[in-house]
Chain A
Amino acid sequence: MTKAQTLFDKIWARHTILERPDGATLLHVARHLVHDGSRASFGALKDKGLEVRHPERTFATPDHYVSTLGNELTAISEPYRREMVGALADNAREHGITLFGLGDRRQGIVHVIGPEQGITQPGLLMVCRGHERRSGGAPGSSSATAISAAARRASTPSGRWWTPASAW
């Protein structure tokens, strides 16, 4: 009789492309959420001459550096942060990624827009850069739970995980 699998085990196995000798697993990322802290990653893709592998599965929204005073870019008083938000829009356009930008009523906190816009679906492996670890507690859904579980597993030496270049 095979060992019983948890929901997490099943989702993990379903998304496993290959396992490396050092214990890391190459996982298929079904949906990728991107926020305005991503400029350096897009820069790294450019430096390496790489494209976003699946722009149709990638969704972007600015949430870190937006102003609470208004929905315009000019409402962000710090130039550096304004540029980060502007860069997200530029990169989304350049790579063909769906953007819920400033002024779009779907724009919001990156954790929230997933379920809100129906991007988050049960059984998917989803990634949001910088949020993939223990704090991954997006509002209740199977996939959010999976991310959260992945984060816990990722913190153990035997269960490191990493994502393909397509899913920065």
Chain B
Amino acid sequence: MSASVIIFYVLAAIIILGGVLSVTSRKIFRSAIYLLFSLIGIAGLYFYLDYEFIAAVQIVVYVGGIVVLLVFSIFLTHGSGEHMKQPNMWRALFSGLAALTGLILTLYIIGNQTFVSDNSTPMAPSVQNIGTQLVSVTSPGYSLPFELVSMLLLAALIGCIVIAIKPAKKADPKPLESNELRSRAENDTLTIENKTVA
């Protein structure tokens, strides 16, 4: 057994163990940390397959972005050390059964399938090739989905702000506040003038 095979199985063990603990742990913060390990294992697998750019994106976006976002939302919505409710036994049983059935069926199909490679000359997944094709409008070009995704990101950004913003309180009497501010500002200028005079 060569070293690369051992590395693959270690990465696979990290990914699967992290995933299982992430969906079964009853402390939500630990659940997020196990998810983090699983995602880092997947990034390691991308490095293993020589796709460095995707691995870097995985680490930056998932580990640096999404998990941090999840952790902050946990801080905002949960008390520390709180246990989550045990899942309903029947529900756990049937979901486990459904997942297991799907798993066995899919593994069986994949095991019987023979995949045929097109044996083309490999193109290096370098940042230069990816960047050139991403914004190209000629045949191997992805500028249309690129633009669509940029629109989607803009919409998500605006949507997040609109959803999460606190509604302004209508009870606040605005004119009084501005009057107060104005009188305060006048007082300030008065004191400043007094000082300059003195």
Is chain B found bound to chain A in the same assembly? no
Listed in ascending order, the chain A residues whose CB lies under 8 Å from chain B are none
Residues of chain B touching chain A, judged by Cβ–Cβ distance below 8 Å, are none
